[in-house]
Amino acid sequence: MAEKFRPIYLLLKNKYYFDEMYGWLVQKVLFGIASIFQWFDDEVVDDGMVDGTGWLNRKMGGLLSLTQTGYVQNYALVIFGAVAVIFLIVSF
Amino acid sequence: MFPIQVLATILLPFAAAFEFFHNPVDGPNALPILTCFILIPNLAAFLIMATPANWTKWISLFAASLELGLAFRVFTLYQISAGGFQLVEQVPWLNNLGIQYLLGVDGMSTLMVVLVACVYFAGSLISWNVTMRTKEYFVLFSLLVGGVAGAYTSLDLFFFFLFYEFAVLPMYLLVGIWGSGRKEYAAMKLTLMLLAGSAFMLVGFLAMYFSSSVHTFDIRILGNLSQTNFTPEFQNFWFPLLFLGFGVIAAVFPFHTWSPDGYGSAPTAASMLHAGVLKSLGGYSIIRVALPALPQGARHWLPILVFLTIVNILYAAIVALKQKDFKYVIAYSSVSHCGAILFGICTLQVAGLNGAVIQTLSHGIVAAMTFALVGLVYGKAHTRELAKLGGLGAAMPVLGGLFVAAAMANVGLPGLSGFVGEFLIFLGSYRSGFHGGFNIFQVLFPTAILAIVLTAIYYLRLVQIVFYGPVKDPHIKEEAKDGSFIEILPIAFLLVVSLAVGLYPKPFVDLSNATIAPLIDQIGGFK
């Protein structure tokens, strides 16, 4: 019998391959999707959005700190320039 | 001798608190029970500071047992038939600004009071073996509890905010000093993100304060102003901001990343308390503040919020599948379960909202239990890497068995608390009404159900990897021992609470419904 109906025999013997299908669905498909989500969570959400916000703040602070030279002459120059600009705007 | 001392330290204050507050508290000589509830952990903190280091754990356990007795007293004193806010304590504080010291509980916050006390008690016992800077640790731990106890009982938004901030700051130090791994990074991330969320909250509170004709922070009054003071445009603008502010506390996607990093690094009791109690404050506050005051805003944004919360549930569950660290799986699981709470809130339906409240209680108990177990396994195996763990069930059968129970409670096995909450949430989402011509819930409902399957997969995977199978590292097997009496006691206690909610949910659902049913009537939700 087994020889005569070999394909049907194998199908029944392996229980319609249901266990294999479940295994494939969870291990390959689901964990494959999970890998993509995991990458997205690590790289895009965490490193990108969250740590990126922190990075942006540090960079902006770094850029702004360039204006703090500690030289009174520099500050006086900026004040003088600003007064000149205001004067020009007001007079024209 | 040792277990007898511990049991005496637990039972005596518990009984004393239960007996002492026996008289109806509405009488003239009544003790302010909710003020005592907030004071006990704070007083414990000061007492610990002032006494020798070897008293520390005993004081903490004594205070926690007292707190537990008080919480069960509140649970029995609350009269469901009368409903509304009870045990109210009102003291004018800054009267001309409309700020008052106003405490009170309704059905929902009664459940939260019980939750706070249960996790405080379990956390005190789990911290028994903390050896590094014990006094400072317990001081901060007690202050953290004092903060959340205040947040759950305050009916004034000013004090609510104050107590919440009180709770966040000790968390920063607990993670930064007693944590593991990248603890400074995690502590900074957790605190900054939670403070950013609370900035949204504060702005929302101030907007409601200035738009109300009476200029008050009283939650009871603000909740009744939705028809008269808050225009639909106002509500549509402010509801999403408040939802976002509270959502950050509940780790809503994409503001959830503080949660896995924070819990991954936090010491055991701190992650128990944060995941179990502080995180639950997010969903609680939406029901307490945002829904009653801004119901039109909630209805307006409903489709987007439902979509966001479903993404939250599924996304966190899928990411949990691929984690390599034991504690990160639990942390993502917690994010997913908090998503379910928010999803339940978004149904705007009686069963769904009741489910959200019960799930808040259940998640608090069960998350505390799983984090306690992860902490114990880490303490014994000295690693949390799933690649190195394996076959621990033979060495620690009791802890392994308790972990299976905790996993099942997370998955939602009938008989445990997780089932009640999740069942009600899904029932509510199925019954919830139409929005804009089609029923968004009946379309998205099956996808949310999928989360149960995913939860089962990652928890069974954890059980299989950590407790069953071959031993991967022989050193772990040699060193790993089963839990001691003091380690098993808190977890067994939490399991009993979870079983109580799971086997006989009626008193808990009735309490929750005492808040939810009038709220649904008031905001015109679905029945």
* Each residue's pLDDT tens digit, A41-65: 888 888 888 888 889 999 999 999 9
**Across the strands, what pairs with B349?**
B526
Give whole-number Cα distances, A35 to B199, B418, B466, in Å.
34, 27, 21
CA distance B446 to chain A (A): 17
Q: Which amino acid is at B280?
A: S
**H helices within B322-349, ranges in order?**
326-346
| Pairwise CB contact (< 8 Å): A35 & B322 | yes
**Across the strands, what pairs with B526?**
B349
What is the pLDDT of chain A when averaged over all its residues? Answer: 88
| Pairwise CB contact (< 8 Å): A31 & B254 | no
Query: Cβ contacts (< 8 Å) between B323 and chain A: which residues?
Result: 38
Give whole-number Cα distances, B71 to B5, B68, B275, B287, B358, in Å.
23, 5, 20, 21, 17
Query: Cβ contacts (< 8 Å) between B464 and chain A: which residues?
Result: none
Q: What is the CA radius of gyration of chain B?
A: 22
CA–CA separation, B54 and B74 (whole Å):
32
**Tokens found for residue A43:** 């790289």
Mutate to test the interface with A, among B190, B314, B318 (most CBs of A within 10 A): B318
CA distance B321 to chain A (A): 6
- Model confidence band, residue B22 (pLDDT cutoffs 50, 70, 90): low
| Predicted structure pTM score | 0.91
Classify residue B325 by its DSSP letter.
B
Residues of A with CB under 8 A from a CB of B: 26, 30-31, 33-35, 37-38, 41, 45-46, 49-50, 54
Q: For residue B23, is pLDDT > 70?
A: no
- B78-91 per-position pLDDT tens digit: 888 888 888 888 88
Do the Cβ atoms of B382 and B326 come closer than 8 Å? no
Q: Where are the domains of chain A?
A: 6-91
Q: Which amino acid is at B319?
A: V
Nearest in space to B333 (alpha carbons), one of B319, B346, B354: B319
Give the residue-averaged pLDDT of B302-325: 89
Query: Cβ contacts (< 8 Å) between B185 and chain A: which residues?
Result: none
CA–CA separation, B495 and B501 (whole Å):
10
Q: Where are the beta strands (DSSP E) in A3-50?
A: none
**H helices within B266-396, ranges in order?**
268-273, 280-285, 291-293, 295-321, 326-346, 350-381, 392-395
- Model confidence band, residue A88 (pLDDT cutoffs 50, 70, 90): very high
- Considering only CB atoms, A41 lies closest to which of B189, B193, B319, namely B319
pLDDT at position B162: 93
Q: For residue B434, is pLDDT > 80?
A: no
**A36: closest chain B residue by CA:** B319
The share of chain B scoring above pLDDT 90, in percent, equals 51
Q: Is B469 left (phi over 0), alpha (psi -120 to 50) or beta?
A: left
| Helix/strand/coil for B88 | strand
Do the Cβ atoms of B381 and B476 come closer than 8 Å? yes
| Pairwise CB contact (< 8 Å): B457 & A49 | no
CA–CA separation, B171 and B281 (whole Å):
15
Do the Cβ atoms of B230 and B134 come closer than 8 Å? no
Give whole-number Cα distances, B311 to B100, B319, B375, B444, in Å.
39, 12, 29, 10
CA distance B426 to chain A (A): 23
Nearest in space to B280 (alpha carbons), one of B152, B422, B449: B152
Do the Cβ atoms of B211 and B276 come closer than 8 Å? no
| Pairwise CB contact (< 8 Å): B189 & A41 | no
Structural domain for B153, as ranges: 2-523
- B362-382 per-position pLDDT tens digit: 999 999 999 999 999 988 888
CA distance A29 to chain B (A): 12
| Pairwise CB contact (< 8 Å): B318 & A49 | no
The distance of Cα B283 from the centroid of its chain, to the nearest Å, equals: 9
| Pairwise CB contact (< 8 Å): B319 & A38 | yes
**H helices within B132-231, ranges in order?**
134-153, 157-178, 183-211, 219-222
Q: For residue B212, is pLDDT > 80?
A: yes
- B315-351 per-position pLDDT tens digit: 999 999 988 899 999 999 999 999 999 999 988 889 9
| Pairwise CB contact (< 8 Å): B322 & A46 | no
| Pairwise CB contact (< 8 Å): A45 & B321 | no
Number of domains in chain B: 1
| Pairwise CB contact (< 8 Å): A50 & B257 | yes
pLDDT at position B29: 54
Give whole-number Cα distances, B99 to B92, B95, B401, in Å.
7, 6, 50
- B128-162 per-position pLDDT tens digit: 888 889 999 999 999 999 999 999 999 999 999 99
CA–CA separation, B464 and B476 (whole Å):
17
Nearest in space to B121 (alpha carbons), one of B526, B524, B511, B486: B486
Count of all residues that appear for chain A in the document = 92
Cβ partners under 8 Å of residue A24, min gap 6: none
CA–CA separation, A3 and B386 (whole Å):
46
The share of chain B scoring above pLDDT 70, in percent, equals 97
Q: Which amino acid is at B359?
A: Q
CA–CA separation, A4 and A2 (whole Å):
6
Q: What are phi and psi of A66, to 5 degrees?
A: -65, -25
Give the residue-averaged pLDDT of A13-38: 87
pLDDT at position A17: 87
| Pairwise CB contact (< 8 Å): B319 & A37 | yes
Do the Cβ atoms of B171 and B274 come closer than 8 Å? yes
